[in-house]
A = this chain, B = another copy of it.
Amino acid sequence: MKLREVGEDRLLIRLLSSLGKNKNVVVAAGDDCAVVRPPRGSELLLLKTDCVVEKIHFTSATNPERVGWKAMMRPLSDFAAMSGLPQFALVTLIVPATRSTRWVSQLYRGLNRAARRFDVVIVGGETSDTRGPAAISVSVAGFVEKNRCVTRSRGKVSDDLFVTGKLGGSIRGKHLNFVPRINESRWLTQNFRVHAMMDLSDGLGADLPRLARASKVGYKIDIDALPLNRGCKIDNALNDGEDFELLFAVSPRDRKRLQKDWRRKFPRIPLTRIGSFNRKSKIENRDLFRGYVHFQQRR
């Protein structure tokens, strides 16, 4: 059946009735706004929106459940970057009326499966027809304790720079089924003073300069130390993008303890020291640093 034969009310009722609720949700989908309990006094509210667009972030042949997974996990990865806990998601679905309801149901299954993985509740949804490619925009609200909020801007000269996991080659599959590093990030701020952190979405080559710029420092990285996914070269690690790993800065005084405790806590996830912040940037092979810049490069 096509969307145009169903109508928005019935479609949304069908899609949203399968979603979970919890004690923090006062009024879920179906009213004009979602009504939820705010974080407590010692916590800050985090807000993030992101989108995936057909023919840009996924193809028309991509399994819609994986598209939904990706659409939800992208903004959740930004919560990992701040060491926040995501709680509530709103989904805007822009999709041609000629698309099958099956496609939309599978997409929602992926959105919901990804949300549940981190106890996030989808509390609202909008749909719109379009004459063009499908697009899914997901906004997420959540919180972070005031003393655990990690921005990009507090990195210090001589901080060690670490990345989680391995880099490069995400387009071969990881970009559709990655798990944001929320648990790892929460563990980090519970046990260490993380000065600056971000998630790698556009490639280390584009993202590291952003982190350094926000912290008003330079950086030096050891290109040969970069943790590479199988079949990847340094260029892939720097420029492929969509790694959704964490890049963060901690004092070199914490290096030993961090490396030891991390191995014990997350034995299957590599943690690699790739360089450090300094006063002035020095990059070997500057031309490798392109990253993925929207509107300038095509994938």
Contacts and interface: CB of A to CB of B under 8 A. Distances in A.
A35 B296 contact: no
A136 to B, nearest CB: 10
B128 A35 contact: no
A7 B81 CA distance: 23
A30 B81 CA distance: 13
Contacts of A7: 293-296
Interface of A: 3-9, 11, 26-27, 30-41, 43-53, 55-57, 78-79, 81-82, 84, 88, 90-92, 94, 97, 123-124, 126-133, 135, 137, 139, 141, 143-144, 149, 151-153, 198-199, 210, 214, 293-296, 298
A208 to B, nearest CB: 13
Give the most central of A52, A97, A129: most B CB within 10 Å. A129
Contact of A38 (B128, B143, B294): B143
Nearest to A209: B9
A51 to B, nearest CB: 5
Contacts of A26: 44, 149
A185 to B, nearest CB: 11
Contact of A56 (B79, B126, B131, B298): B131
A34 to B, nearest CB: 4
Contacts of A144: 35
Give the most central of A34, A40, A78, A199: most B CB within 10 Å. A34
